[in-house]
Chains A and B, each alone.
Chain A
Amino acid sequence: MTTTDLPSPGDLPEIAVDPAAFRHLADAQVAVELDTGDMVLNIGPQHPATHGTLRLVVRLDGERVVSADPVIGYMHRGYEKLTEFRTYPQITTLINRIDWLSSFANEVPFIAAAEHLMGIEAPPRAQYLRTILTELSRIATFVLFLGEMGLQVGAITPAFYGFRDREYVLNLIEAVTGGRFHPNFNRIGGIKDDLPWGWISECKSVMQKVLASCDEFDDLVVGNPIFQKRTRSIGIIPQELGAAYGVSGSNLRASGVDWDLRRDGPDYLVYNDLDWKVWTHPDGDSFSRYWVRLQETRESARMVLQMLEQLPSGPLMAKVPRIIKVPEGEVFVNTENPLGEMGYYVISKGATGPFRTKIRSASFSNVSLLPWLLRGVYVPDIVTILASLYFILGDIDR
């Protein structure tokens, strides 16, 4: 078996972990003064705060959490096994549905893995369109988060704003790809179609709307004293611990780790041509996770505006054989998805479908921190912390 050489994935900053330093202080706080015995509270498997079908078995002492045990697998659909029975073009249909809020971003690393094994590179215009659509799906994901986080702390108004802006962005994606949710628009070697007529000016006006609504969220949610009370210094992830658990994406950046695969990873899509900034926040609490995602939404909108200005012309597809057979080899490609680092380890034996695919999805690692993170918090804070971590169940269970 030949191993394909890859540029090394972006290195996480070197962080030493001392477990003794992170023994949770809450252990001491769960007092035995009033010994009432533990109560087991079963949250889920179907609960609005869990974004789907996460089940949490929580032991409570009064209103405090003694231990929390996430039970996953209610959305396990067997992707890794199914990929062994599908061809490469068919698999993009499946992996759209792993993280269903940002489907287009899921396709990118898998297609990149196949392209890398075949030695094909997509033409520049296709790369630009991919980047635009990835960033649009990031905006669609985050805008929903910005609204839904408000909903989870008891303010129902932001949810309507979130869904309103998401519809604008979904309209754009639908105009290009024909699908609101699951575009299935990437092809090995390029992209299926060009932009429709008038799309660019439409997209520019929508990005202005998104930027304006980010200001609205700033006023409505971030500046709200009740929201701040509910989220500040709640659910703090120390950066060493977050890195040790494999937490990635905005959750890690909210803990102060300046690490973004779009900038630090292997060169992918066209992020190097753009002028943009990686946002971090030193606190690591629920509030900073909201704040970082708000800034990233703005940054994505600015990136889309930049790309629309410098969109190159040219072909959309590289030369690709009619029947796609991927040469023998193995490759790991990871990219920065809205929820965090997503990677595909593809082993090919030269057939029309992969021999084995390992999917590294962000939410699985993000949620693995929950037993640690939820220990010692109050019951209402469980909802806040779950909402601020922002996971998708399809992304956890696959």
Chain B
Amino acid sequence: MGLVSSGKAPKPLQHLLNYSRKYSLWMLQWGLACCAIEMGAALAGPRYDVMRLGVIPFPASPRQADLIVISGTVTDKMAPAIKRLYEQMPDPKYVISMGSCANCGGPYWDSYSVTKGVDQIIPVDVYVPGCPPRPEAFIQGIVLLQQRIMSEDPAERWRGVTREPIVVG
């Protein structure tokens, strides 16, 4: 991928790469709390069915995943495990923080055992607010992430360029 990482890939090739990355997001589900059920409804529920957007929700390992969804309350005991599995994912990788707890601590803003926001441990690309967010909101987050993937230069992640996170809603 020397051509891409140097940023000299021709535009059509970049378009093709982005297009294929966008519709084959392998998603590592990190279902923690209430939001995990809404995420499950979005994944397995016949009403929502996120697979039609090209999101494949069952990678065997974080090493095969492009996207991690943190859905639920992150506690201080859980945080090291999240960081470790995030680091096992290959670049380019994306993070969706689903629900108020993962965004900022939510109703447990003054709890002694809750990490106030998963963005303290890993960088977040999309914030989905709600307690818990509806499956539609989660799907909206995925669609917005796909739009960003389509518009970005594949090399910018490797060059360490960071963009403003997306907030759904």
> Looking across the interface, which residue of chain B has its beta carbon closest to that of A94?
B107
Q: Looking at the complex, which one of B30, B37, B107 makes contact with A93 (CB distance below 8 Å)?
A: B107
The interface residues of chain A lying within 8 Å CB-to-CB of B108 are 77-78, 82
B102, CB-defined interface residue at 8 Å: no
> A45 with B78: in contact, given A93-B107, A160-B46, A163-B44 (CB under 8 Å)?
yes
> A74 with B114: in contact, given A97-B34, A97-B107, A181-B37 (CB under 8 Å)?
no
Bin the interface of chain B by size.
20 to 34
Q: Verify A182–B114 contact, CB threshold 8 A.
A: no
> A167 with B33: in contact, given A74-B75, A82-B108 (CB under 8 Å)?
no
Q: Verify A77–B73 contact, CB threshold 8 A.
A: yes
A232, CB-defined interface residue at 8 Å: no
CA gap between A144 and B134 in the complex, in Å: 17
A263, CB-defined interface residue at 8 Å: no
Q: Verify A181–B111 contact, CB threshold 8 A.
A: no
Q: Verify B107–A167 contact, CB threshold 8 A.
A: no
A124, CB-defined interface residue at 8 Å: no
Within 8 A of A (CB), among B125-167: 131-132, 134
Bin the interface of chain A by size.
20 to 34
A394 to chain B, nearest CB (A): 6
Q: Verify A164–B32 contact, CB threshold 8 A.
A: no
B38, CB-defined interface residue at 8 Å: yes
CA gap between A74 and B78 in the complex, in Å: 6
A75, CB-defined interface residue at 8 Å: yes
B52, CB-defined interface residue at 8 Å: no
The interface residues of chain B lying within 8 Å CB-to-CB of A167 are 41, 45, 47
> Looking across the interface, which residue of chain A has its beta carbon closest to that of B36?
A52
Q: Verify A45–B81 contact, CB threshold 8 A.
A: yes
A222, CB-defined interface residue at 8 Å: no
Q: Verify A75–B32 contact, CB threshold 8 A.
A: yes
B113, CB-defined interface residue at 8 Å: yes
Interface membership of chain A positions 130-145, coded 1 if the CB is closer than 8 angstroms to chain B and 0 otherwise: 0000000000000010
A180, CB-defined interface residue at 8 Å: yes
B54, CB-defined interface residue at 8 Å: no
> A85 with B110: in contact, given A74-B75, A74-B77 (CB under 8 Å)?
yes
Supply 16 A–B pairs (Cβ within 8 Å), ascending by A. A74-B78, A76-B75, A76-B113, A77-B73, A77-B108, A77-B111, A77-B113, A78-B108, A78-B112, A78-B113, A81-B111, A82-B108, A82-B111, A160-B44, A163-B40, A181-B37
Binding site for B on A (CB under 8 A): 45-46, 52-53, 73-78, 81-82, 85, 93-94, 97, 100-101, 144, 159-160, 163-164, 166-167, 180-182, 393-394
